[in-house]
Amino acid sequence: MAQKPSIPKGTRDFSPAEMTNRNYIFDSIKSIFRLYGFQPIETPAMENLSTLMGKYGEEGDKLLFKILDSGDYLSDFDEEQRYLITDIINREKEIISKLKNYQNNTSLIRFFESTKDDLFNIAEKKLVINEIIKKSEDGTKWISTLKLNTLKNEVINTSRDTFDNLLKKKIDKFVGKDKGLRYDLTVPFARFVVQYRNDISFPFKRYQIQPVWRADRPQKGRYREFYQCDVDIVGSDSLLNEMELVQIVDQVFAKLKINTVVKINNRKILAGIAEVIGEKDRIVDITVAIDKLDKIGLDKVNEELIEKGISQAAVDKLQPILHLSGSVSDKLTQLESAIGLSEVGSKGIAEVRTLFAYLDTLQLTTEVELDLTLARGLNYYTGAIFEVKAKDVAMGSICGGGRYDDLTGIFGMPGVSGVGISFGADRIYDVLTQLQLFPSETVDSTKLMFVNFGAAEEAFCLPVLAAVRKAGINAEIFPDKSKMAKQMTWANNKKIPFVAIVGENEMLQGKINLKNMVTGDQQLVDPQELIKILSA
Amino acid sequence: MAQKPSIPKGTRDFSPAEMTNRNYIFDSIKSIFRLYGFQPIETPAMENLSTLMGKYGEEGDKLLFKILDSGDYLSDFDEEQRYLITDIINREKEIISKLKNYQNNTSLIRFFESTKDDLFNIAEKKLVINEIIKKSEDGTKWISTLKLNTLKNEVINTSRDTFDNLLKKKIDKFVGKDKGLRYDLTVPFARFVVQYRNDISFPFKRYQIQPVWRADRPQKGRYREFYQCDVDIVGSDSLLNEMELVQIVDQVFAKLKINTVVKINNRKILAGIAEVIGEKDRIVDITVAIDKLDKIGLDKVNEELIEKGISQAAVDKLQPILHLSGSVSDKLTQLESAIGLSEVGSKGIAEVRTLFAYLDTLQLTTEVELDLTLARGLNYYTGAIFEVKAKDVAMGSICGGGRYDDLTGIFGMPGVSGVGISFGADRIYDVLTQLQLFPSETVDSTKLMFVNFGAAEEAFCLPVLAAVRKAGINAEIFPDKSKMAKQMTWANNKKIPFVAIVGENEMLQGKINLKNMVTGDQQLVDPQELIKILSA
């Protein structure tokens, strides 16, 4: 027997039992999203690399899975040819990545001035490749001779002035062949919003539940393929949206029976703090340190701030803020006196006040608290920051998000404010497993199996089976005339709660012997009674 | 403004409206799958290349999208180093692909004998790379120094006898880094069945709805990413399964209101025909020609057969079979006399007879016909062959499948018979669009929008909105206090059927002015009446 096949590290198969549980989570979440007027979209698994690169920092770029149309095209060439082609591709990539940083026209012209030689160099090499491909047996596998010839003619017949632009287009087109698997749903969503801005009615409320891929080192609980479950509204500044997201969180976890606490902070308050203590430019360092308050304690946080070069005076000024206590309203009052003079800080306090006033009018199941140490995803959040934790299980956050003022700016459409949250399906799965909260029966399950004793019994059972299904009840007949024990084990493994046993006696009476697989009880029923019992 | 972002050719975004329609199709199909006791599974988007390669023929292999962990690792090395590494990777790939063809132990040993030099050559080169990497600034990016050192020690300390196996493992592990996007759901399903054979209760009834990827030339109606929607039962020979698949097809399309005809053939009959006319080994050529009967007519089919080297005598013998007519039963009787002497042919006739006898007991909405010219997917079907066409639209088949006796054999688990069908979601989408059969309202849609006139009105509306949602009705409030016309347009674009307009007058009366967006009618209602109308 050959070696057992396997799947790539960090990826997973989902069995029927796991799928049922996962669908329970996704269906619960989706039903609440829809209740609040959010609509689904889907984007392709692969995006152009130009869409993905540079959006997740240097580390993120390295975690992108890249896709080749056909990884084999290089093998059609000999070693020298292959080296030449690889080199050109790499240089083109470099140039195009540089080009991406020059969206402003003046800079672009200056950039072209400085790289003309590089570009010409590539053009020349392309002509060389052209010759290579002509000689190669099947050049079409990589790029057609015709296309290369067209390029060559264009290069020869074009004046130097327009050549740069032309080549840029060619390069774009060529490099556009490079694709990557999406790393998250946020960047594809921003791309979607910009691409279809003329068709979208803003504010745009969408949800998206799809897998994402990261070439992370696989380890426990960290996968290279996993689902994200995002809900966002873009094109609206209203704090009603923040309120509704908290409501959605509340209702989703109430539905899933998970006790939660929603922690709320506001990036503007963090900015205000940094400003007031005189370290406006150090907001990231400060909030990263504050973020550790729970874990390492006040003394260590202060140490870290000093180590990072925050002045002693600033750290001293920060102390009252780290000691805020009391109700949300108390905290906001103390904060007001601490950072009220900062314009941005004051704005942040007002936002939090409004949001909590909204929340006070609701009957929430979840706890909601103001947590100034919450600094999650600081790099693009500009207003509210959310994080949700399960109360009865030690686990990281199971949901989080915030407001961002310029997500679509990276694709050239500035000034579209949005706010959104993301549910962590894998962690929610783990919480539900640990707390044994998955329902034992779901709409997915089969309710009834008919035992198969052979042709005559089959002929009796099939019309009954059809009637059961017509009543909307998931049911099946064991397809083969196998041993009774095998069939019962099969039903058991599939967790089918009822089994219909029809032998000669039952057929004579026109009845079905219905066995409850949980209690072991058996009863003789006619088809109508059968349907009634199963519908209960 | 920067260039508008775009998506790779052959891929698609799905807007909320498209998603709603697609979900309508998938949900309809899934509900019927479940009604028949099929359960969902999911497999990862990326499979090991060793799982995918060689399963789809030479052409198919070329259409695989391959994935790199990080396409950039080569750029960490200088040109000479890069060339060396690329070369080794390519040679390892070659060797491993050769190894895949030697699953039998004796052949394997012989293979090792003949390639030992090659393997040692690679081992030596690996040691060279080891040195290169040590010197490189950040070797961890490609493969850790530690790992390479371990390999080196293993190579040095291992006797020649076990070295081959060790190296094979190393190569496997290394080449295992190469992944590809799944090309269909059939091969991953076969891999799944073999991988989990000890956990699965056979017969195993699963459905799977996931995207697949093919590096095909994008053109109208052909995408590089598209969903497949497969339902299969493996580990059962019973023809009850074939019957149930036809029932599933019937119920799915009845639910979607598409009139269909199900064409049924049997590969064993085709084999019998080839045998009887004395061209047993030419079954593929013969059926490919017969498959064209509808399109090119009898004369051309005969011409093609002769051209392909089928003897005139064989073509003559084939004629009565091409002229079968009458009812299914008539055709089978004629066929019996034509090919009844062939054992396999006779078995095929018996199977078809049993299946149609089953189908006769059912009240099907769809037409079912025996079509001996149906040769679909001949390469792995071994029994029943199905194809479904929509009757009111000119379109290729919208669903198809058949029985295969040895799908899991490719992964070393022979003798597991299965039968399955696949629904073509994109074509079904097109049929429903052309026939305007998509429902205008679905569970996904928002039913009611509250116009937002500002803080006071908002405070009045929010509790009503909460009550509406509590009744399970999808509803929302426009988040910003915008112009009335903008809000109404927004509701219109989102196809929201009801809008609640609450101004000062309404608030004074504690009522809601409910506007029906289809008829334009307005009525003043209290919250209870509102919920009653929306629930209707």
Mean pLDDT is lowest, of A315-319, B363-367, B462-466, for: A315-319
Nearest chain A Cα to B239, which residue?
Answer: A479
Mutate to test the interface with B, among A27, A476, A493 (most CBs of B within 10 A): A476
Mean pLDDT computed over B119-144: 45
Structure pTM? 0.81
Mean pLDDT is lowest, of A113-117, B30-34, B455-459, for: A113-117
Cβ of B16 within 8 Å of Cβ of A44? The answer is no
Q: Does B353 share its domain with B472?
A: no
CB-closest option in B40, B225, B489 to A44: B225
Cβ of B51 within 8 Å of Cβ of A490? The answer is no
Q: Does A386 share its domain with A272?
A: yes
Selected residue with higher pLDDT from B83 and B426: B426
**How confident is the model at residue B173, as a pLDDT?**
38
A50 in Cβ contact with A176 (< 8 Å) = yes
Instruction: Determine, yes or no, domain membership for B412.
Output: no
Q: Does A496 share its domain with A462?
A: yes
- Smallest Cα distance from A40 to chain B, Å: 5
Whether B22 has a pLDDT exceeding 60, the answer reads yes
Number of domains in chain A: 4
Cβ of A41 within 8 Å of Cβ of B474? The answer is no
**How confident is the model at residue B263, as a pLDDT?**
96
A contacts of B11 (beta carbons < 8 Å): 44-46
pLDDT digits (tens, 9 = 90+) for A343-383: 999 999 999 999 999 999 999 999 999 998 887 655 788 99
Instruction: Determine, yes or no, domain membership for A411.
Output: no
The CATH number that applies at residue B325 is 3.30.930.10
pLDDT digits (tens, 9 = 90+) for B164-217: 344 334 333 333 347 889 999 999 999 999 999 999 999 999 999 999 999 887
**How confident is the model at residue A407, as a pLDDT?**
87
Instruction: Determine, yes or no, domain membership for A398.
Output: no
Distances (CA, A) of B121 to B91, B113, B150: 10, 14, 18
Mutate to test the interface with B, among A23, A29, A36 (most CBs of B within 10 A): A36
**How confident is the model at residue B281, as a pLDDT?**
87
Q: Does B191 share its domain with B51?
A: yes
Query: Which ipTM score applies to this complex?
Result: 0.80
Cβ of B203 within 8 Å of Cβ of A71? The answer is no
- Smallest Cα distance from B124 to chain A, Å: 20
Cβ of A70 within 8 Å of Cβ of B47? The answer is no
pLDDT digits (tens, 9 = 90+) for A480-535: 999 999 999 999 999 999 999 999 999 999 999 999 999 999 999 999 999 999 99
Mutate to test the interface with A, among B25, B42, B483 (most CBs of A within 10 A): B42
**How confident is the model at residue A138, as a pLDDT?**
38
B158 confidence band (pLDDT: 50, 70, 90) = very low
- Smallest Cα distance from A473 to chain B, Å: 6
**How confident is the model at residue A100, as a pLDDT?**
47
Instruction: Determine, yes or no, domain membership for A500.
Output: yes
Instruction: Determine, yes or no, domain membership for A413.
Output: no
- Give the CB-side neighbour count of residue A332, counting CA atoms within 13 A: 20
**How confident is the model at residue B3, as a pLDDT?**
67
Whether A84 has a pLDDT exceeding 90, the answer reads no
Instruction: Determine, yes or no, domain membership for A92.
Output: yes
| Helix-, strand-, coil-residue percentages of chain B, each rounded to 5 | 50, 15, 30
Instruction: Determine, yes or no, domain membership for A68.
Output: no
- Smallest Cα distance from A302 to chain B, Å: 34
Whether A269 has a pLDDT exceeding 60, the answer reads yes
- Smallest Cα distance from B151 to chain A, Å: 20
**How confident is the model at residue B126, as a pLDDT?**
52
C-alpha A313: how far from chain center: 42
Q: Does A140 share its domain with A207?
A: no
Q: Does B387 share its domain with B264?
A: yes
Please report which helix (H) or strand (E) contains residue B300, including its range.
helix B293-307
Q: Does B235 share its domain with B374?
A: no
Selected residue with higher pLDDT from A102 and A294: A294
CB pairs under 8 A between A and B: 285
- Smallest Cα distance from B334 to chain A, Å: 27
CB-closest option in A67, A86, A479 to B67: A67
DSSP designation for A139: G
Mean pLDDT computed over B365-389: 88
Mutate to test the interface with A, among B1, B12, B13, B534 (most CBs of A within 10 A): B13
**How confident is the model at residue B71, as a pLDDT?**
34
Q: Does B282 share its domain with B270?
A: yes
- Give the CB-side neighbour count of residue B306, counting CA atoms within 13 A: 10
For residue B146, what are its two tokens? 């530690």
Q: Does A41 share its domain with A105?
A: no
B468 in Cβ contact with B530 (< 8 Å) = yes
CB-closest option in B39, B63, B443 to A444: B39
Last residue of a domain, one of A141, A175, A209: A175
The CATH number that applies at residue A453 is 3.40.50.800
**How confident is the model at residue A170, as a pLDDT?**
39
Cβ of A476 within 8 Å of Cβ of B7? The answer is no
- Rounded CA separation A367/A361 (Å): 14
Q: Does A188 share its domain with A47?
A: yes
Whether A59 has a pLDDT exceeding 70, the answer reads yes
Mutate to test the interface with A, among B46, B140, B142 (most CBs of A within 10 A): B46
Cβ of A44 within 8 Å of Cβ of B489? The answer is no
A contacts of B63 (beta carbons < 8 Å): 70
Q: Does A127 share its domain with A273?
A: no
**How confident is the model at residue B63, as a pLDDT?**
84
- Rounded CA separation A145/A149 (Å): 6
Q: Does A58 share its domain with A134?
A: no
**How confident is the model at residue B202, as a pLDDT?**
95
**Cα separation of the two ends of chain A:** 48
Whether B452 has a pLDDT exceeding 80, the answer reads yes
Q: Which residues pair with A228 in a beta bridge?
A: A210
- Smallest Cα distance from A344 to chain B, Å: 22
A contacts of B72 (beta carbons < 8 Å): 61-62
Whether A74 has a pLDDT exceeding 60, the answer reads no
Mean pLDDT computed over A317-344: 91
A contacts of B12 (beta carbons < 8 Å): 44
Please report which helix (H) or strand (E) contains residue B352, including its range.
helix B343-360
Whether B341 has a pLDDT exceeding 80, the answer reads yes
Instruction: Determine, yes or no, domain membership for B418.
Output: no
Mean pLDDT computed over B54-75: 67
Nearest chain B Cα to A361, which residue?
Answer: B463
Enclosing domain of residue A487: 448-535
Mean pLDDT is lowest, of A504-513, B84-93, B221-230, B414-423, for: B84-93
Cβ-based neighbour number of residue B487 at 10 Å:
21
**How confident is the model at residue B443, as a pLDDT?**
67
Whether B42 has a pLDDT exceeding 90, the answer reads yes
Cβ of A45 within 8 Å of Cβ of B211? The answer is yes
Selected residue with higher pLDDT from B251 and A126: B251
- Please give the share of chain A, as a percent, with pLDDT higher than 90: 61
- Rounded CA separation A91/A118 (Å): 9
- Rounded CA separation A130/A135 (Å): 9
Whether A323 has a pLDDT exceeding 90, the answer reads no
Please report which helix (H) or strand (E) contains residue A252, including its range.
helix A240-256
- Rounded CA separation B321/B337 (Å): 10
